[in-house]
Amino acid sequence: MIHPTAIVSSQAEIGSGVSIGPYAIIGAEVVIHADVEIGAHAVVEGPCEIGRGTRLFPFSYIGQAPQDLKYRGEPTRLVVGERNTIREYATLHRGTVGGGGVTLIGDDNLFMAQAHIAHDCRVGSGNIFANSASLAGHVEVADFTTLGAFVGVHQFCRIGAYAFIGGFSKIVKDALPYARTDGIDAKCYGANTVGLRRRGFDKESIRRLQRAFHLLLVSKLNTTQALAEIRTGLAGTPEIDYLIKFIETSARGVTK
């Protein structure tokens, strides 16, 4: 189902059940899997791959060259997983050679209007990017996070799983998993209790995370001392073990 006004490169691969709307442009080296819906005036450039069931709304732009002054036209890629929703004017860019050559997007993400995913980012699955939430290059976002409107994430930062980032926040260090982080001068405000309940976490798991964040944020212990206390009294569950590993592997430091 390709509208007669759409421009589709002869080098593009189009799967079954794909719908391409009026004035959409599909470039060379684009692979579109089955049941993808591409709205009017959307633009997809390659090399780029779009997973099954993904929906691109009008005027979304994906697969463009990275906004990196070091980029010299090398063949890099964007890979988008299945069932993603990419709203109006959202932009997802290809990778750079220096960053591994690929930008990766998982499944079931919602990118609201004007959201931006820069080169070499790694985005997991089940995430929500509100209007104009933006990732700079080389950012890693885990699964089931929420980024509020106009959030800006600095290069090479990480957003941990189940994190909630409040609108207009400026993230310059790693944002802790399972936590609420907010503010132009971003700070962590403890466990994302409401979000964890909605995601099906049981009371005991939430209690343990609340205790861990109390040690990290409220006690007078430094981070090393707090981690030692968390290991002694709380380690052994997937959530606590992931939180410990996230902090220990942070290159930029974590937002506290």
The residues carrying an active-site annotation are: 119-120, 137
Q: What is the rounded distance in angstroms from the CA atom of residue 218 to the CA atom of residue 195?
A: 21
Closest CA relative to residue 42, chosen from 5, 69, 10? 5
Max alpha carbon distance in the chain (Å)? 66
Closest CA relative to residue 57, chosen from 87, 34, 85? 87
Q: What is the rounded distance in angstroms from the CA atom of residue 110 to the CA atom of residue 146?
A: 10
Q: What is the rounded distance in angstroms from the CA atom of residue 52 to the CA atom of residue 171?
A: 32
Question: Cβ distance 153 to 135 under 8 Å?
Answer: yes
Please, which residues bridge with residue 48 across strands? Answer: 30, 78
Q: What is the rounded distance in angstroms from the CA atom of residue 183 to the CA atom of residue 99?
A: 29
